[in-house]
Amino acid sequence: MQSARKLGENIERIEALGHRLVAAFREKAMPNPGVEGPGPDLVLTAANAWMKTLAEQPTRLIEQQVNYWGETLQNYSAAQRALTGMQGPADDGQPITDKRFKNPLWQTHPYFSYVRKQYLTNVRAFQDTMDELDLPDQVARRRVDWLTRQIVDMMSPTNFLATNPDALERAVETEGESLVRGLENLVRDVELNGGEMVVSLADREAFTVGENIGTAEGSVVYQTSLFELIQYKPTTDQVHATPMLIFPPWINKFYILDLKPQNSLIRWLVGQGHSLFVVSWKNPDAAYAEIGIDDYIAAYLDAMDKVRELTEQPKLNVVGYCIAGTTLSLTLALLNKLGDERVNSATLLTTLTDFSDHGEFTAYLHDDFVNGIVEEVERHGLMRAQLMSRTMSFLRANDLVWGPAIRSYMLGETPPAFDLLYWNGDSTNLPGRMALQYLRGLCQRNEFAGQGFEVMGRRVHLGDVATPLCAVACETDHIAPWSDCWRGVAAMGSADKTFILSESGHIAGIVNPPTKMKYGHYADGDGFDRGHDHWRESSTFTEGSWWPRWGDWLADRAGAMVPAREISGEISPAPGSYVHERAV
Count of CB atoms within 10 A of residue 230's CB? 29
Instruction: Give the chain's largest Cα–Cα span.
Output: 85
Which of the following is catalytic: 322, 443, 470, 474? 322
For this structure, is 470 an active site residue? no
Q: What is the phi/psi pair of residue 350, to 5°?
A: 40, 60
Q: What is the DSSP string of 99-137?
A: GGG-STHHHHSHHHHHHHHHHHHHHHHHHHHHHT---SS
Nearest to 386 by CA among 243, 283, 275: 283
CB–CB of 518/489 below 8 Å?
A: no
Size of the chain, expressed as the number of residues it contains: 584
Strands (E), 164-315: 218-223, 227-232, 238-240, 244-247, 276-281
What gap in Å lies between CA 349 and CA 267, rounded to an integer? Answer: 17
Q: Phi-psi category of 511—alpha, beta or left, where left has phi over 0 and alpha has psi -120 to 50?
A: beta
In order, the DSSP letters of 162-180 are: GG-HHHHHHHHHTTTHHHH
Residue 180 to residues 9, 203, 252, Cα–Cα distance (Å): 10, 18, 33
Strands 469-474 and 497-502: parallel
Asked if residue 246 lies in contact with residue 278, where contact means CB atoms within 8 angstroms, the answer is yes
CB within 8 Å of 559: residues ≥ 6 apart: 240, 241, 242
Contact at 8 Å (CB) between 518 and 490? Answer: no
φ and ψ of 278, to 5 deg: -135, 140
* Residues forming a β-bridge with 318: 245, 346
Q: Give exposure, 290-326, as e/b (b: 16+ Cβ within 10 Å).
A: ebbbbebbebbbbbbebbbebbebebbbbbbbbbbbb
Three-state secondary-structure class, residue 315: coil
Angle at the Cα of 274 from the Cα atoms of 271 and 275, rounded to 5 degrees: 120
What is the C-alpha separation between 17 and 14, in angstroms, rounded?
Answer: 5
Q: Which one-letter DSSP state was computed for residue 401?
A: I
Q: What is the 3-state secondary structure (H, E, C) of 435-450?
A: HHHHHHHHHHCCCCCC
Antiparallel, parallel or unpaired: β 561-563 and 238-240? antiparallel
Which of helix, strand or coil describes residue 523?
A: strand
Q: Let me know: does 490 contact 528? Beta carbons within 8 Å.
A: yes
Cα three-residue angle 467-468-472, rounded to 5 degrees: 110
Catalytic residues: 322
